[in-house]
Amino acid sequence: MNSKYNYKEVTEKILESKEEFDDIEEELIHELIQGKVSKDTNVVDQSRLSFGDKMSDKISSFVGSWPFIMVSVSLIIIWVIINVSYIIKPFDPYPFILLNLFLSCIAAIQAPIIMMSQNREGDKDRIKAKNDYKVNLKSEIIIEDLHLKMDEIIKSQKFIMEKINELEKSKK
């Protein structure tokens, strides 16, 4: 789009001086309104993801799900039953030191992966907030413009009504 005006300058001028808003050309406001400011933040975010980011998201979504909890609890129960029941020779007797080591290692690996995914979600939230701000700003400018136009219409209607009343009085 070939713009005669800089979007940022126009927005700053409108926001800085609401008293001078009447002096801004109608064309300038329409130029500002025509541009699309909203973005699909999911598309913007997906384009910047590395392989590690995608993996951390997938792992975090699985680790935070009921299937993961059920599989984990099932494996722990099976581990305990095998080592307590003496069905086979116990490879990790009662204090279950080996099980404890495995669970600690899993937790140590999961924690940073989940944190990476949460940091990315925070970044995505910041992008969404910035997008929302732009959309709200544009909406505010459009509403202000419509408000001014409605005021002008009301003034012109009052003027027309006065002229009609004057004409009616002059006819009598």
Query: Following CA atoms 50, 56, 59, 61 in sequence, which dihedral angle do they give, to the nearest 10 degrees?
Result: -100
Tell me how crowded residue 117 is: count the other CB atoms within 10 A of its CB: 20
Encoded tokens for 167: 């004409």
Residue 86, pLDDT score: 84
Confidence of residue 3 (pLDDT cuts 50, 70, 90): low
Query: Following CA atoms 112, 118, 119, 122 in sequence, which dihedral angle do they give, to the nearest 10 degrees?
Result: -170
**What are the CA-CA distances from residue 125 to residues 39, 98, 107 (Å)?**
13, 40, 26
Confidence of residue 32 (pLDDT cuts 50, 70, 90): low
Q: For residues 83 and 136, is the Cβ–Cβ distance under 8 A? A: no
Residue 15, pLDDT score: 57
Give per-residue pLDDT as tens, 50-97.
Answer: 898 889 999 999 999 999 999 999 999 999 999 999 888 899 998 999
pTM for the full predicted model: 0.61
Which stretches of the chain are DSSP H helices? 7-16, 26-34, 41-47, 51-63, 66-85, 97-171
Give per-residue pLDDT as tens, 114-165.
Answer: 999 999 889 889 888 888 888 888 888 888 888 888 999 999 999 999 999 9
Residue with tokens 């307590």, as numbered in its chain: 84
Confidence of residue 10 (pLDDT cuts 50, 70, 90): low
Residue 1, pLDDT score: 43
Task: Tell me the HSE value of 39 on the side-chain side, using a 13 A CA sphere.
Answer: 15
Residue 68, pLDDT score: 96
Confidence of residue 29 (pLDDT cuts 50, 70, 90): low
